[in-house]
Amino acid sequence: MDRRHFLMSSAAAAGAASRAFASPNDTVRIGCIGIGGRGASHIAGFGRLPNVELAAIADIDDSHVANGLAQIAKAGYKKPQTFTDFRRMLDDKSIDAISIATPNHWHTLMAIWACQAGKDVYVEKPCSHNIFEAQQIVAAARKYERMVQMGSQIRSSAAVQEAIAKLRAGDEFGEIYMARGLCFKWRDTIGKKPVSPVPAGVNYDLWTGPAPLHPFTQNRFHYNWHWFWDTGNGDLGNQGIHEMDIARWGLGVKYPVKVSAIGGHFMFDDDQETPNTLNLAFEFDQAGKKRMLEFEVRHWMSNGEAAIMDRGFNTIGNTFYGSKGYLAVDTYSSYKSWLGKTQQPGPGRNEGGDHFLNFIDAVRSRKRESLHAEIEEGAASTILVHLGNISYRTGRTLYFDEKTMTCKGDPEANKLLTRDYRKPYVVPEKV
């Protein structure tokens, strides 16, 4: 549990920033943390890139490690080192960067420790479990001069980049005054699960990390951790963060002045704590220009909107409204648009991109501005998710002050900006 491995001096970190890669031929050596679910996509995404080596994988579940090794062997990649405790991976000076695909409550602390160990970081969305952490992960990236990318993959879509550029230009769509983000995703009940023994091959204490240590149940563990406040952020912070990020990007705003949420956990009687139906409104005021962001989370049967529909039962995307027309972005890297009062078809495109490659290119170039979802951008969108959840949990409108990063006159809301950390897994106030 000794944290001395991660407390590098600023000078040491600066030296690490300018060092050559440990491997020959300019190969970037990656360590992947969290090999279940999304972690398999990290293995595939980094493994297929030229001059990138999957040097190590880490997971608290031996079965996940076994699955990761099988995936790597099937792809014909070199067998990596394996770890249960990711901290041992950070000790390896030959590893250049790490990717994090763990539950949300671990994202920030792992990223900070990795930055302190001289590693660049690709961290899944949302980059933090709370607003305090969102500030700290940015501070660590800056102090240790690391390339840190949030896993908002659609930011690397050529089509979506084109759509945002058209919104910003104003020629075709005029002044963009509102965005509407949709996360209508089929989610069945998780039921109720009793306390049970920790499965063999699982380090549950390390999995719990910064969060309170609860008796083990299957519903608090793999994937369903999303639906408990101690480890997840509901579907707003799961699928919804992708759409929240695009909505904020398209509007050209950063922090809101006002946030209001209403919703609940409807239809199911199960263990889930987070809402499965949620309506949010954000008001922005930038240099006297007001903008509005609407966001809706829905968990069951639903309709499509503005040609946004996924396989007939999910509606995931964004619509932007301007003075001359409107534009819809779906979750599969495409956009369509309609112009004028008669809603004539406007420009559209369907073309993706490679978010993993974008990160690797930045690791090589050391150009922070080349990252499509640089951590400061990712943290700003993540903060919107947290403010929406805080408004829901307190049951009232929040008035946010970006200078102090607090909610005005609301001690109860401000208490939810951070958490009590379980030692020794403490996100530091000074990184």
Report all structural domains of the chain as residue ranges with CATH numbers, in order of start.
3-154+356-373 (3.40.50.720), 157-352+384-415 (3.30.360.10)
Task: Tell me the mean pLDDT in the region 111-136.
Answer: 98
Task: Tell me the mean pLDDT in the region 50-55.
Answer: 97
**Does residue 1 register a pLDDT over 60?**
no
Of 236, 187, 202, 160, whose CA–CA distance to 63 is shortest? Answer: 202
pLDDT tens digits for 191-225?
999 999 999 999 999 999 999 999 999 999 999 99
Q: SS3 of 152, please?
A: coil
CA quadruple 210, 214, 217, 219: dihedral, nearest 10:
-60
Contact 314, 186 (CB under 8 A): yes
**Does residue 19 register a pLDDT over 90?**
no
**Does residue 228 register a pLDDT over 60?**
yes
As to burial, measured by CB atoms within 10 angstroms (0-12 exposed, 13-18 middle, 19+ buried), residue 2 is exposed
The per-residue pLDDT for 286 is 83
Which range has the worst mean pLDDT, 23-32, 42-51, 227-236, 342-351?
23-32
Give the mean pLDDT of the chain: 93
pLDDT tens digits for 162-184?
999 999 999 999 999 999 999 99
**Does residue 100 register a pLDDT over 90?**
yes
Q: Which helix (H) or strand (E) holds 315?
A: strand 315-322
Contact 129, 107 (CB under 8 A): yes
Which range has the worst mean pLDDT, 5-9, 40-44, 48-52, 147-151?
5-9
Rounded to 5 degrees, what are φ and ψ at 386?
-65, -40
The per-residue pLDDT for 21 is 55
As to burial, measured by CB atoms within 10 angstroms (0-12 exposed, 13-18 middle, 19+ buried), residue 227 is buried
Which range has the worst mean pLDDT, 127-136, 325-334, 353-362, 377-386?
325-334
Share of the chain above pLDDT 70, in %: 93
- Our measurement of the distance from residue 181's CA atom to the centroid of its chain's CA atoms, rounded to an integer in Å, reads 16
Q: How far apart are CA 61 and CA 67, in angstroms?
A: 10
Task: Tell me the mean pLDDT in the region 95-121.
Answer: 98
The per-residue pLDDT for 312 is 67
Instruction: Let me know the angle formed at the C-alpha of 143 by 17 and 257, rounded to the nearest 5 degrees.
Output: 135
Which range has the worst mean pLDDT, 35-39, 65-69, 359-363?
35-39
pLDDT tens digits for 270-292?
999 999 999 999 999 988 899 99
pLDDT class of 25 with cuts at 50, 70, 90:
low
The per-residue pLDDT for 234 is 98
Q: SS3 of 62, please?
A: helix
pLDDT tens digits for 333-375?
899 999 999 999 999 999 999 999 999 999 999 999 999 999 9
Which range has the worst mean pLDDT, 159-168, 311-320, 413-422?
311-320
Q: How far apart are CA 80 and CA 55, in angstroms?
A: 5
**Does residue 6 register a pLDDT over 50?**
no
pLDDT class of 5 with cuts at 50, 70, 90:
very low
The per-residue pLDDT for 306 is 85
**Does residue 41 register a pLDDT over 60?**
yes
Directed axis angle between helix 131-143 and helix 104-116, to 10°?
Answer: 20
The per-residue pLDDT for 11 is 39
Of 242, 223, 126, 125, whose CA–CA distance to 183 is shortest? Answer: 242
